[in-house]
Amino acid sequence: MGIITIVGRPNVGKSSIFNRLLGRRESIVDDFPGVTRDRLYAEMTWDGHNFYIVDTGGIMGENDESFPDMVSQIERQVRHAVDESDGVIFVLDGRDGVTVMDEEIAALLRRGGSKVIVAVNKLDNPARLDASYDAASLGFEKILPVSAEHNFNMGELMEEMVALLPDEGVFEESEDIPVTIVGRPNVGKSSLLNALSGEERSLVSDVPGTTRDVVDSVVEIDGTRFRFLDTAGLRRKSRVNTDIEYYSVVRTYQAIDKCRVAVVMLDAAELVTDQDKRLLGHVLERGKGLVIVVNKWDLAPKEEKIGDKTRKLMRDELPFASHAPLLFVSALTKRGISRLNQHILAVDANRKRRIPTSELIRLTREVLAFDRMPGAGGRYLKISFCTQADGVPPAFVFFVNDRDLVSKSFERRLENIIRKMADFSGSPIRLFFRNKQEKTELF
């Protein structure tokens, strides 16, 4: 997906525009310059386009001793926006007019060749609309008067943003199998890629965060071509505190969007953290295949049945990903790595697997007919028909008498039944419930 970044000097309303475009409050908004310290991003959908929008509100105030030179801070922020984004929203304060700092930012954007929309904010009064004409002196073609506070011209801003986005690629039909390697810093992602490729494709270091960008490598294994994407280590948001690290996070999520199968790496010394759980959940939410790899297994304690104990611990800690293949490897010694491609191929096939209609009819009539169904107020759920929708990951649509009777526990139970009917290891399953009277055009 594309990236649109919002830039501008302090207190011009960048975060207000960010929140208004999203339709919800994500950034802290305050009149004090520099109140937003962390880079913020969110996924958006508009007119059929999916993209990321970035709030670069991390400009520090003049009294912040760690950033005494505000101009250099802005310059670094804008430079990264130019390098990493498909388009830039350059926000001005319509009440102040064009300032010297605005001119400095404009010069940086022009030198970088960015696609720029100038959004002249805080023009909520029609009498002030002429103030947007001053922005023409900055040398950009697209100039739009807006008011984030009063939702003025925000729809027009959305349309201009979408026009800056690149054509969305189709990755499911790729000749190579795209596989993204993700995980926390220093779990051995680059070492794994180097071991798979037989050469040093990625820089390997003991310093967490060595990989700043996505490394794209095509590797042929046993006659199959894999396109491995090695990503930057994902830290907790509270620790993402530099421009480079911030955009590395965004590009890692882009790499997950591009893949068919994600290899999530864990560290044998610190098996499952909250960050790991969030990352695994994100992969499955995006509909991607999942293979879990525990690296540095050569350093695991030499205990009896340590593998069985670890496997049980993982299943208990990650019940939502218990269907994913689990592989113990050492990227350093290459132990266990030879089996990784087989797991990736199996998971990729499972994402495309279909259950015959006759089996789904049996599921509806036989399996569920003798099970206790969820209900409320004396009414119980009845399933009249089930079909598998086209596309990946596997999605099943159940036509019922009242979908409001469906409980979460029943959904989990139903998913477990479907997983026993066919091999969906490593693939998420989508369940949809439709009332019988609803139209059948589901997707």
Lowest mean pLDDT among 133-147, 276-290, 385-399: 133-147
Region label for 243, one of left (φ > 0), alpha (ψ between -120 and 50) or beta (otherwise) = alpha
What is the residue-averaged pLDDT of the chain? Answer: 79
- Rounded Cα distance between 248 and 240, Å, is 10
* pLDDT: which is higher, 429 or 246: 429
Based on the fold, state whether residues 99 and 59 are members of the same structural domain: yes
Domain count for the chain, please give it.
Answer: 3
- Tell me the percentage of the chain whose pLDDT exceeds 90: 23
Which H or E run includes 179?
A: strand 177-183
Residues 380-423 pLDDT 10s: 888 888 899 988 999 999 998 888 998 898 899 899 999 999 99
Nearest residue to 184 via CA among 257, 250, 249, 261:
249
Q: What digits encode the pLDDT tens for the residues 246-268?
A: 555 677 787 888 899 999 999 98
More confident residue, 168 or 261: 261
Tell me if 102 sits within 8 A of 134, measured CB to CB: no
Distances (CA, A) of 255 to 25, 99, 135: 26, 38, 36
Q: What angle do CA 233, 236, 238 make, to 5 degrees?
A: 130
The reply to whether 128 and 245 lie within a common domain is no
Tens of pLDDT along 212-237? 445 667 788 888 888 888 776 665 55
- Hey, which of 70-74, 171-175, 216-220 has the most confident mean pLDDT? 216-220
106 in the same domain as 77: yes
* pLDDT tens track for 84-112: 788 899 999 888 888 888 888 888 888 87
For 68-81, what is the mean pLDDT?
Answer: 58
Asked if pLDDT for residue 200 goes beyond 80, the answer is no
Residue 442, pLDDT above cutoff 60: no
Parent domain of 393: 357-435
Are residues 198 and 347 both part of a single domain? yes
For residues 17-42, average pLDDT: 57
In a domain, 124, yes or no: yes
CATH of the domain at 403: 3.30.300.20
| Residues 194 and 146 both lie in one domain | no
Q: Are residues 305 and 421 in the same domain?
A: no
User: pTM value?
Assistant: 0.63
Maximum Cα–Cα distance across the chain: 79
Q: What is the pLDDT of residue 213?
A: 46
Q: Are residues 347 and 362 in the same domain?
A: no
CA 69 – CA 63 distance, rounded (Å): 10
pLDDT at 8: 85
Claim to verify: residue 191 and residue 99 sit in the same structural domain:
no
Domain stops at, among 130, 164, 198: 164
Sorted by sequence, the CB contacts under 8 Å of residue 181 that are 6+ apart come out as 189, 192, 193, 228, 229, 230, 231, 262, 263, 265
pLDDT, position 170: 41
Strands (E), 297-443: 326-328, 375-376, 379-380, 383-388, 395-400, 430-435
The pLDDT-based confidence of 173 (bands split at 50, 70, 90) is: very low
Q: Stretch 172-196: mean pLDDT, rounded?
A: 81
**288-338 confidence digits (pLDDT tens):** 999 999 999 988 777 778 888 888 988 899 999 999 999 999 998 999 999
Q: Which of 43-47, 93-97, 200-204, 257-261 has the lowest mean pLDDT?
A: 200-204
Domain boundary among 164, 190, 211: 164
